[in-house]
């Protein structure tokens, strides 16, 4: 069985690009959303080819399993009907063929222990096997088997696709990854994985290649899936309105009454005696 390797390439560069994009989005938080003039259209410029004398590489720097096939030993396919195959037996056959990963000191040793609790065709609280799905992914009119099972104690999930060739069960997709979800779209398998940045995820697409007779890697995307989380500076709270000071009302009192006029005493008595 071929060695299983991480399926992601150049994630660091993609994450750096996303960080730059996030900063641009945060800077534009105050945009009202109206239409803005883009200005004059720039003149198209052809791409500049860098280092034209550089010797091209003859082999990839990173070994990437674009596709592989393997006959599953010890599992029969009655009537060439893949629906008659026991998914539990398929996973146990992989475990038996790969002691380096599933042995007592292997990376996924706990998966081996949990498989002991799986009932017929799966089931059980500790069973790592997920629900199997059947769909024609090769275009030959017959269903393929898509299997998933958890790889304990890691945070990874194993994704496998099997078909029937010459009365034998053949594995045509082998992928281990941290998985958010898996989708079957037409004859492709789409794997969604966390990107490590809020609002983004990786999507890897695998498609059937009739020449290689296997599912091959066809697209790897780094996509925005939701609203970015960023903090806005809260607007200052409005200052409380000043409380009006009431105008004092003067209340009449004994000190503020108008003075009483004094009557004229008239001519004195001595004047009248003359």
Q: How far apart are CA 73 and CA 94, in angstroms?
A: 9
From 175, 184, 152, 254, select the one nearest 8 (Cα to Cα).
175
Backbone angles phi, psi at 2, to 5 degrees: -65, 150
pLDDT of residue 249: 47
From 142, 200, 192, 212, select the one nearest 25 (Cα to Cα).
200
Q: How far apart are CA 197 and CA 199, in angstroms?
A: 6
pLDDT mean over 32-43: 75
Span 49-108, pLDDT tens digits: 888 898 887 876 665 555 679 999 999 999 999 999 999 999 999 999 999 999 999 999
SS3 179: coil
Span 135-154, pLDDT tens digits: 999 999 999 999 999 999 99
Each domain of the chain, given as residue ranges in start order, spans: 65-224
Give the bridge partners for 135, in sequence order. Answer: 144
| Mean pLDDT for all residues in the chain | 79
pLDDT band with cut points at 50, 70 and 90 for residue 20: low
- What percent of the chain stands above pLDDT 90? 51
From 3, 4, 2, select the one nearest 157 (Cα to Cα).
4
SS3 87: helix
């Amino acid at each position: 069985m071929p060695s299983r390797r991480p399926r992601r390439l150049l994630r660091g560069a993609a994450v750096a690009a996303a960080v730059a994009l996030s900063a641009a989005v945060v800077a534009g938080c105050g945009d009202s959303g109206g239409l803005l003039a883009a200005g004059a259209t720039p003149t198209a410029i052809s791409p500049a080819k860098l280092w034209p004398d550089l010797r091209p590489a003859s082999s990839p720097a990173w070994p990437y399993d674009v596709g592989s096939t393997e006959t599953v030993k010890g599992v029969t396919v009655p009537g060439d009907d893949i629906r008659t195959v026991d998914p539990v037996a398929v996973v146990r056959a992989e475990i038996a063929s790969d002691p380096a990963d599933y042995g007592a000191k292997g990376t996924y040793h706990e998966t081996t222990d949990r498989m002991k609790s799986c009932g017929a065709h799966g089931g059980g609280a500790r069973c790592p096997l997920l629900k199997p799905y059947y769909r024609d992914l090769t275009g030959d009119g017959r269903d393929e088997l898509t299997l998933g099972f958890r790889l304990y104690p890691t945070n990874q999930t194993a994704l496998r696709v099997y078909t029937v060739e010459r009365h034998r069960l053949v594995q045509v997709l082998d992928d281990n990854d941290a998985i958010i979800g898996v989708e079957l779209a037409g004859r492709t398998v789409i794997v969604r994985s966390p990107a490590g940045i809020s609002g983004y995820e990786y999507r890897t697409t695998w498609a059937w290649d009739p020449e290689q007779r296997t599912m091959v890697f066809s697209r790897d995307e780094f996509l925005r899936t939701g609203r970015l989380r960023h903090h806005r500076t809260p607007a200052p709270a409005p200052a409380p309105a000043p409380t009006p000071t009431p105008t004092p009302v003067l209340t009449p009192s004994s000190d503020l009454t108008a003075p009483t006029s004094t009557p004229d005493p008239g001519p004195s008595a001595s004047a009248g005696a003359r």
